């Protein structure tokens, strides 16, 4: 796990070496163990190393035998041993034992299609000195980040935006449409970033850049089976194959020259991963969890039960509200752009705790998005019944629900009910992100000033949803929602959160559920094997029965959150009223100060639960103070 960066000047201007080194230094947290550089007159690449495989000779950049091909890679190539054997049989000579060295030799053999041979989590930059060609690529699901900006007939790239901003010619101008989308989704959907001149390489995509052309194209996508050629598995066969492939995925991710462990929440996904680790590992498995004071958020009792059941070494840190609160003012030191997922706070502290014991941790990320694990998937079925009711009945129902007394507990009944009615009357796909996101289109009309709205292009509020749906090859309503969550919430929220929180603590996190072969298998399964009536993760739960107790398999979904709603009215209130001070809001010129005052007052007096709106605003203001 590492940080990569680089500068290519196709106009033959010499590389700004000082800027390149500043870019590399800005992401030292991603790789505190070593650094490396490659420099020619027009191209330069930097590398920060977190040593995981080949501790002695594995520093990057990597080069081909004649040193005409150079590459830097952030991540892990899980099939590198198999690829290395094939390449050695074709007379390629290796000078390291690193997984990353296969990249340059694969390129020599397969050209730009080399990326299709890789199985792993990665962000790659490859420079072909002979052809003066740069290739940027990300893994199929987007576990590792990569950003770029075109500057003066050249390109600047890096793992993190904070690194790119060290280059004097990379613009910090805001992308106004991206700002607006952030307040809809709570994140900025790829390929955009919050900065208008900085873009993200999309997951499963490659960019090929030369002086004369830029090619940006996908090399992989999630494909669902057509019902005509679908291979019918009975449930037992599907569960057995699922278990076999997940076991194979975990085994790949145990390859390491340093100590490793796993996150354990006590939920199905992380517990399943640890059960497989226990079977495959010769050493005792280390499991890590954090406990909270607030019992509506704490899952530690379940984590302890799983650890005892599986016989693994259990490590737990109890976090007070003060420890969690102390992280919030500096949250944007971790993030490059605003991300309103409050679970970044406990994820950071869990990574910090875990990183004191191991360098690599496996996680259960991706299970919910593959197997329809969120309660919203079942809620869509209920919402469809409302289409049968007269508009007057639905209107009256909304009024009744919105008058429910406010509770600030985790996923309280009134919070879920009010979210539910907010999506009625819209398409399932739009409804899904009204439920998952923050500000509705109606609320955003009140949020922004007239001056700010004038900077917005005439965009469709949910254009990212529609663009992704155009690429989805399934017409099934559930599969379309799963595809959207993989392309939006998973890649631009969950994986960003985990990457920034873990790498800020120099910890590598690996996600077995996101294995390419495993994802392809799950995508071929019938939707009814994922959501059976209102039972989420149906086939995953069936597969887990031989490994985990029923109490863990069947327990309700519980998010990894913090008591934001309560804190806004308690310990966080002075901080929030300072950051969201009306005079500051007015001077900023982006938000309607009276509307911001209203949503604060409504929450403070318990008239409405505005936790998501306030938190989304707070994170943006903290980010804006630091970066803009």
Residues 251-268: pLDDT tens digits?
A: 999 987 778 999 999 899
Q: What's the whole-number average pLDDT of the chain? A: 91
Asked if residue 621 belongs to a domain, the reply is no
Which residue range is the domain that position 17 belongs to?
Answer: 2-218
Within 10 A of 452 (CB to CB), how many other CB atoms are there? Answer: 17
- How sure is the predictor about 228, in pLDDT bands with cuts at 50, 70 and 90? very low
Asked if residue 19 belongs to a domain, the reply is yes
Number of alpha carbons in the 13 Å side-chain half-sphere of residue 229: 3
Residues 167 and 28 in one domain: yes
- How sure is the predictor about 210, in pLDDT bands with cuts at 50, 70 and 90? very high
pLDDT at 58: 64
Q: Write down which residue in 507, 534, 553 finishes a domain.
A: 553
Residues 196 and 266 in one domain: no
Residues 297 and 205 in one domain: no
The residue ranking higher by pLDDT, 49 or 377, is 377
- Between strands 147-150 and 133-138, the pairing is unpaired
Lowest mean pLDDT among 51-60, 70-79, 213-222, 602-611: 51-60
Q: Is the pLDDT of residue 229 over 50?
A: no
Phi-psi region of 204 (alpha: psi -120 to 50; beta: other; left: phi over 0): left
Residues 285 and 201 in one domain: no
Torsion from C-alpha of 337, 463, 477, 201, nearest 10 degrees = -50
Q: What is the pLDDT of residues 587-623, one digit of tens each?
A: 999 999 999 999 999 999 999 889 999 999 999 999 9
pLDDT at 410: 61
Asked if residue 147 belongs to a domain, the reply is yes
Specify the number of domains making up the chain: 2
Q: Write down which residue in 519, 553, 587 finishes a domain.
A: 553
- How sure is the predictor about 479, in pLDDT bands with cuts at 50, 70 and 90? very high
Q: Residues 405-427: what's their mean pLDDT?
A: 74
pLDDT at 566: 86
Residues 146 and 174 in one domain: yes
Residues 490 and 533 in one domain: yes
The residue ranking higher by pLDDT, 25 or 395, is 25
Cis peptide leading into residue 168 (ω within 30°): no
pLDDT at 246: 98
Residues 169 and 209 in one domain: yes
Q: Is the pLDDT of residue 395 over 90?
A: no
Q: What is the pLDDT of residues 432-458, one digit of tens each?
A: 898 889 999 999 999 999 999 988 877
Asked if residue 590 belongs to a domain, the reply is no
Give phi and psi for 200, each to the nearest 5. Answer: -100, 140
**Alpha helices (H) along 504-581:** 516-524, 538-544, 550-553, 564-568, 573-579
CATH number of the domain enclosing 514 = 3.40.50.620
CATH number of the domain enclosing 178 = 3.60.20.10
pLDDT at 59: 81
Q: What is the pLDDT of residues 501-556, one digit of tens each?
A: 999 999 999 999 999 999 999 999 999 999 998 899 999 999 999 999 999 998 87
Tokens of 329: 């003012």
- How far is Cα 201 from Cα 207, in angstroms, rounded to an integer? 8
Asked if residue 15 belongs to a domain, the reply is yes
Residues 180 and 253 in one domain: no
pLDDT at 53: 61
Residues 128 and 250 in one domain: no
Q: Write down which residue in 525, 553, 581 finishes a domain.
A: 553
- How sure is the predictor about 392, in pLDDT bands with cuts at 50, 70 and 90? confident
Q: Is the pLDDT of residue 417 over 60?
A: yes
- How far is Cα 563 from Cα 466, in angstroms, rounded to an integer? 33
Asked if residue 329 belongs to a domain, the reply is no
Asked if residue 198 belongs to a domain, the reply is yes
Asked if residue 441 belongs to a domain, the reply is no
Residues 84 and 189 in one domain: yes
Residues 158 and 104 in one domain: yes
Q: With contact defined as beta carbons under 8 Å apart, do 541 and 534 qualify?
A: no
Tokens of 604: 């403070």
Q: Residues 149-159: what's their mean pLDDT?
A: 95
- How sure is the predictor about 427, in pLDDT bands with cuts at 50, 70 and 90? confident
Angle 156-162-167 (CA atoms, 0-180°, nearest 5)?
40
- How sure is the predictor about 386, in pLDDT bands with cuts at 50, 70 and 90? confident
Instruction: Give me the DSSP letters along 160-176.
Output: SHHHHTTSTTS---B-H
Q: Residues 120-136: what's their mean pLDDT?
A: 97
pLDDT at 52: 67
Residues 356 and 210 in one domain: no
């Amino acid at each position: 796990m590492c940080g990569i960066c680089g500068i290519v000047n196709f106009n033959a201007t010499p590389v700004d070496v000082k800027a390149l080194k500043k870019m590399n230094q800005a992401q030292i947290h991603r790789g505190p163990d070593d650094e490396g550089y490659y420099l020619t007159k027009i191209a330069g690449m930097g590398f920060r190393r977190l040593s995981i495989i080949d501790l002695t000779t594995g520093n990057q950049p990597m080069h081909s035998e004649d040193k005409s091909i150079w590459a830097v890679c952030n991540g892990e190539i899980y099939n590198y041993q198999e690829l290395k054997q094939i390449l050695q049989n074709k007379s390629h000579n290796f000078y390291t034992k690193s997984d990353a060295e296969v990249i340059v030799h694969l390129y020599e053999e397969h050209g730009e299609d080399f990326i299709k041979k890789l199985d792993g989590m990665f962000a790659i930059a490859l420079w072909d000195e002979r052809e003066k060609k740069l290739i940027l690529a990300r893994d199929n699901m987007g576990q590792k980040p990569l950003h770029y900006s075109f500057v003066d007939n050249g390109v600047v790239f890096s793992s993190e935006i904070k690194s790119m901003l060290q280059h004097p010619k990379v613009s910090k101008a805001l992308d106004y449409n991206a700002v607006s989308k952030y307040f809809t989704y709570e994140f900025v959907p790829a390929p955009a970033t919050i900065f208008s001149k900085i873009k993200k390489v999309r997951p499963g995509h490659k960019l090929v850049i030369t002086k004369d052309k830029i090619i940006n194209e996908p090399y992989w996508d999630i494909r669902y089976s057509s019902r005509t050629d679908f291979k019918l598995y009975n449930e037992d066969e599907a569960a057995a194959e699922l278990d076999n492939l997940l076991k194979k995925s975990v085994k790949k991710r145990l390859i390491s020259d340093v100590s490793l462990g796993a996150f354990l929440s006590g939920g199905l996904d992380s517990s399943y991963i640890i059960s497989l680790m226990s079977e495959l590992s010769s050493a005792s498995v280390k499991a890590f969890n954090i406990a909270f004071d607030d019992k509506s958020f704490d899952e530690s009792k379940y984590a302890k039960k799983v650890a005892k059941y599986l016989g693994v070494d259990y490590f737990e840190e109890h976090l007070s509200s003060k420890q969690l609160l102390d992280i919030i003012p500096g949250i944007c030191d971790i993030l490059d752009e605003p991300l309103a997922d409050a679970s970044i706070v406990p994820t950071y502290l869990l990574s910090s705790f875990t990183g004191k014991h191991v360098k690599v941790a496996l996680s259960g990320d991706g299970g919910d998005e593959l197997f329809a694990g969120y309660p919203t998937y079942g809620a869509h079925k209920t919402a469809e019944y409302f289409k049968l009711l007269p508009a007057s009945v639905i209107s009256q129902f909304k009024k009744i629900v919105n008058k429910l007394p406010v509770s600030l507990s985790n996923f309280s009944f009134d919070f879920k009910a009010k979210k539910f009615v907010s999506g009625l009357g819209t398409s399932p796909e739009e409804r899904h992100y009204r439920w998952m996101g923050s500000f509705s289109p109606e609320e955003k009309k009140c949020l922004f000033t007239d001056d700010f709205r004038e900077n917005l292009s005439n965009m469709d509020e949910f254009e990212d949803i529609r663009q992704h749906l155009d690429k989805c090859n399934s017409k099934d309503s559930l599969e379309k929602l799963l595809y959207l969550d993989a392309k939006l919430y998973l890649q631009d929220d969950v994986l960003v959160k985990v990457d920034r929180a873990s790498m800020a603590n120099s910890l590598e996190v690996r996600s077995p559920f996101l294995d390419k072969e495993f994802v392809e298998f799950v995508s071929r399964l019938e939707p009814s094997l994922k959501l059976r009536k209102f039972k989420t993760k149906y086939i995953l739960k069936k597969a887990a029965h031989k490994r985990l107790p029923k109490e863990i398999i069947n327990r309700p979904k519980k998010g990894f959150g913090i008591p934001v709603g309560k804190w806004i009215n308690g310990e966080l209130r002075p901080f929030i009223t300072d950051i969201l001070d009306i005079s500051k809001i007015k001077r900023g010129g982006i938000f309607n100060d009276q509307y911001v005052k209203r949503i604060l007052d409504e929450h403070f007096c318990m008239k409405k639960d505005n936790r998501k709106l306030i938190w989304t605003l707070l994170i943006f203001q903290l980010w804006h103070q630091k970066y803009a």
